[in-house]
Amino acid sequence: MFKKILFTFLVTLSLYSIVAAGYHLFEPEDDLNEITDALVIDYKSLNEYVLSGNEGAIHYVLFYDKRIQDSEYVRNTLLTTVQNDTQLQLDRIIDIVDTSEIEQDSVTLRLTEDWGIRNIPALAVIRLENGTPVLVSKLEWNSEQMLSAEDVEIWLADNGLYQPGETMEPVETPES
C-alpha cells in the first residue's frame, strides 16, 4: 500500500514539474514601459493605413520616436495620466506611429513635408478627404514648455473625444 501511495506521489510531482517548467519556458515577458510592436504602426505604412479607411475616416495618431526621451514620457506617463483622468481607453483611440526608422537628422524635415508636424512627439488628427489624408488638428511637443495632461485633455475635447466637466464623464468614441 505504501509503495502505491509513494508511486502516485512521485508521478504527480513529476507531472507538476513538467507543466511548471513548460509554463516558465513559454511564459510571455511583460514590460509595461515598452510599447509592443502590435500596437505600433510603421511610419512607412501610415499613408497606406490612412488610405485604407472609408472616406471621412478619422485617425488619431501619436507620432512617436523611441530614440527620443520626450516620446517615452508622453507615451508612458502623460497619456497614462490622461487616460486615468478621463477614463478614456486611449490605447484603443490613438494609433502610435513609430518614426524611429527615419534617420534622426531628417525626422523633423520628413514629418513637416509629409504631415505638417514640426516636433516629436506629436498628437494629430488625420481625416481622409477626397482620397487624400488631411491633417485636421495637431498638438506638438514644445521643448520650451512641456505638454501637460491638461493640454492633452483640451486637445481631446477640441477634437470631440472628451467632454470635460465636473464629473469628467467620457464621451462615446467615434468610429474610424
Per cent of the chain over pLDDT 70 is 86
Q: What is the mean pLDDT of the chain?
A: 83
pTM recorded for the entire structure = 0.70
Domain boundaries, the chain: 37-158
Residue 38: pLDDT band by 50, 70, 90 thresholds?
A: very low
- What was the pLDDT predicted at 33? 40
Burial class (CB in 10 A: 0-12, 13-18, 19+), 126: buried
Count of other CB atoms within 10 angstroms of residue 121: 24
φ, ψ for residue 78, nearest 5 deg: -65, -50
Question: Average pLDDT in the 22-42 region?
Answer: 64
Beta strand 58-64 with 122-129 is antiparallel
Please check whether the domain covering 37-158 is classified as CATH 3.30.70.250: no
Quick check: 149 pLDDT over 60? yes
Beta bridge partners of 41: 97
Beta strand 132-140 with 40-42 is unpaired
Identify the weakest region by mean pLDDT among 1-15, 20-34, 87-101.
20-34
Comparing CA positions, the residue from 7, 57, 64 lying closest to residue 34 is: 64
